[in-house]
């Protein structure tokens, strides 16, 4: 009898471990998407996203404040669609949000490699607003539906296990900061208690969670090396210098470090992130723990140029830093966002800036694409003599185009006139020695 019970439990365990995943697989994969792929971003949509970001980002995180947010269903979908597509680079995800008081319906389609069952996983999350607070009402994957009570219980049980107790507590505090949620017509409104102390503590905990200790050490290594290079140049009376004078020794250092770490991809990622932060004049305090920050040498800054312009260096390396940190699509969108912003009262839309953005992304893609490509880039950049080996020419690329001029001359980002200039930029990048 005892053996029969043991055999029965073993059979159930095997069935549960094999049959349940198969059932989930058959039930989760669909042949058609619940949400279609959105069209390419337009000039006006980039402008709208810029307006929303400015409106709902507090000017200072140093002061506690209540942030009043009112956003339409259309704007929610705009931010969701292009936010997901830019921030998640490796997977195609298409979200759709629908407001129907008291429910918020969030439908998402994830495109996966083609299988006999289909190539889409469709999910639907329904949030119900109760007494001004959103609660999970249900989550559906394929034809499997899980009630909100089960999801909440699972989060309560596994949250403290997956996260450190203090991190779990901070996450709950930030979730509780969303107050007075309501739906009025096709508009979502809520109040967010912006508490910089809690946000700062959560960010500090994320340093060890999201940035490995080894990577923090790499950031410190390249930051200190860059500081020493700048200090040496300043001692020689040099205030402004071609960026090639700095990147050449830094990539030589990355090449040497890769011989020790056996990981040229991570070495290159840390180096490009360091150069990005240098261009933004930001220190490492936001990315390394307080203990490790003590090892960082006080920064030294000099002017770095590409084709005689300091702004191109920022475009190049900030785009490269974003690409290795958040993906190429995010970096491309950030560059486009900046140019659209400049076309409204700034220096104007610049294809030269866009060329620097695209070249920085290309460098990042190759520098972190694979170990073989990463090593090749290290060798080429360590031997670079002139800027044109990694930064394309910018002559005859239109600049200073204001918004109305842009709309008149190029119409939008998918027009033939705009595509012709983008194709020319791509041709020039492809001609650079480092990218061949």
Residue 62 is predicted with a pLDDT of 55
Instruction: Check whether residue 274 and residue 183 sit in a common domain.
Output: no
Scanning 236-279, the segments in alpha helix (DSSP H) are: 244-261, 264-279
| Final residue before a domain boundary, out of 181, 204, 227 | 204
Q: What's the Cα-to-Cα distance from 117 to each of 27, 90, 110, 121, 367, rounded to whole Å? A: 9, 22, 14, 10, 36
Q: Which residue did the predictor score with more confidence, 428 or 334?
A: 428
Indicate the SS3 state at residue 30: strand
Render pLDDT for 56-105 as a digit per residue (tens, 0 to 9): 665 545 556 667 788 888 888 887 877 676 556 566 788 888 999 899 89
Answer yes or no: is 8 within a domain. Answer: no
Q: Which residue did the predictor score with more confidence, 18 or 104?
A: 104
| Final residue before a domain boundary, out of 174, 204, 234 | 204
Instruction: Check whether residue 111 and residue 128 sit in a common domain.
Output: yes
Instruction: Check whether residue 292 and residue 243 sit in a common domain.
Output: yes
Phi-psi region of 91 (alpha: psi -120 to 50; beta: other; left: phi over 0): beta
Instruction: Check whether residue 321 and residue 192 sit in a common domain.
Output: no
Integer Cα distance of 213 and 190 in angstroms: 37
Average the pLDDT over 347-353 and give the result: 85
Count structural domains, the chain: 2
Least confident of 138-147, 153-162, 233-242, 252-261: 153-162
Is the pLDDT confidence value at 196 over 80?
no
Answer yes or no: is 3 within a domain. Answer: no
Helix or strand run (H / E) with residue 184? strand 178-184
Instruction: Check whether residue 257 and residue 178 sit in a common domain.
Output: no
Answer yes or no: is 21 within a domain. Answer: no
Answer yes or no: is 381 within a domain. Answer: yes
Integer Cα distance of 64 and 356 in angstroms: 38
Answer yes or no: is 7 within a domain. Answer: no
Question: Backbone phi, then psi, for 178, in 5-degree steps?
Answer: -80, 115
Q: Residue 269: which domain range?
A: 211-435
Instruction: Check whether residue 389 and residue 328 sit in a common domain.
Output: yes
Q: What pTM was estimated for this model as a whole?
A: 0.65
Residue 87 is predicted with a pLDDT of 54
Answer yes or no: is 17 within a domain. Answer: no
Q: Which residue did the predictor score with more confidence, 346 or 62?
A: 346
Residue 130 is predicted with a pLDDT of 87
Which residue has tokens 């695209």?
Answer: 358
Instruction: Check whether residue 194 and residue 343 sit in a common domain.
Output: no
Instruction: Check whether residue 292 and residue 165 sit in a common domain.
Output: no
| Final residue before a domain boundary, out of 204, 231, 255 | 204
Mean pLDDT of the chain: 79
Q: Are strands 103-115 and 178-184 parallel, antiparallel or unpaired?
A: unpaired
Least confident of 165-174, 246-255, 289-298, 410-419: 165-174
Instruction: Check whether residue 322 and residue 431 sit in a common domain.
Output: yes
Answer yes or no: is 340 within a domain. Answer: yes
Average the pLDDT over 319-334 and give the result: 66
Instruction: Check whether residue 188 and residue 232 sit in a common domain.
Output: no
Residue 207 is predicted with a pLDDT of 42
Instruction: Give the DSSP letter of residue 402.
Output: -
Residue 6 is predicted with a pLDDT of 42
Q: What residue ranges in 38-177 does DSSP mark as E strands?
A: 65-72, 92-100, 103-115, 118-130, 133-141, 144-147
Answer yes or no: is 76 within a domain. Answer: yes
Instruction: Check whether residue 190 and residue 263 sit in a common domain.
Output: no
Structure tokens at 214: 């080894």
Instruction: Check whether residue 107 and residue 183 sit in a common domain.
Output: yes
């Amino acid at each position: 009898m005892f053996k029969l019970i043991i055999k029965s439990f073993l059979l159930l365990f095997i069935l549960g471990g094999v049959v349940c995943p198969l059932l989930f697989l058959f039930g989760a994969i669909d042949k058609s998407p619940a949400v279609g792929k959105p069209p390419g971003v337009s000039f006006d949509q980039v402008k709208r996203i810029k307006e929303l970001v400015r409106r709902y980002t507090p000017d200072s995180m140093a002061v506690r404040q209540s942030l009043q947010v009112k956003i339409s269903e259309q704007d929610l979908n705009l931010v969701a669609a292009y936010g997901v597509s830019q921030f998640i680079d490796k997977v195609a995800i298409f979200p759709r949000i629908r407001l129907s008081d008291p429910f918020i319906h969030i439908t998402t389609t994830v495109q996966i490699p083609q299988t006999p069952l289909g190539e889409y996983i469709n999910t639907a999350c329904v949030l119900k607003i109760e007494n001004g607070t959103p609660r999970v009402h249900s989550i559906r994957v394929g034809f499997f539906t899980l009630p909100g009570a089960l999801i909440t219980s699972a989060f309560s049980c596994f949250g403290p296990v997956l996260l450190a107790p203090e991190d779990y507590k901070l996450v709950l505090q930030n979730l509780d900061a969303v107050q007075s949620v309501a739906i009025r017509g096709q508009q979502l409104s809520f109040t967010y208690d912006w508490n910089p102390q809690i946000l700062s503590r959560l960010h500090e905990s994320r340093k060890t969670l999201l940035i490995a200790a080894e990577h923090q050490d790499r950031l410190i290594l390249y930051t200190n090396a860059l500081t020493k290079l700048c200090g040496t140049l300043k001692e020689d009376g040099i205030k402004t210098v071609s960026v090639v004078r700095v990147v050449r020794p830094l990539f030589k250092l990355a090449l040497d470090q890769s011989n020790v770490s056996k990981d040229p991809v991570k070495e290159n990622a840390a180096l490009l992130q360091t150069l990005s932060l240098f261009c933004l004049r930001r220190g490492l305090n936001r990315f390394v723990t307080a203990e490790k920050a003590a090892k960082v040498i006080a920064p030294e800054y000099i002017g770095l140029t590409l084709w005689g312009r300091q702004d191109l260096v920022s475009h190049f390396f900030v785009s490269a830093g974003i690409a290795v940190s958040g993906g190429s699509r995010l970096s491309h969108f950030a560059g486009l966002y900046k140019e659209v912003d400049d076309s409204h009262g700034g220096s104007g839309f610049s294809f030269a800036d866009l060329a620097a953005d695209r070249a920085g992304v290309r460098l990042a893609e190759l520098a972190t694409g694979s170990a073989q490509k990463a090593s090749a880039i290290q060798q080429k950049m360590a031997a670079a003599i002139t800027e044109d080996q990694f930064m394309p020419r910018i002559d005859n690329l239109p600049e200073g185009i204001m918004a109305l001029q842009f709309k008149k001359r190029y119409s939008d980002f998918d027009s033939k006139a705009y595509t012709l200039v983008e194709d020319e930029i791509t041709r020039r990048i492809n001609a650079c020695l480092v990218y061949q």
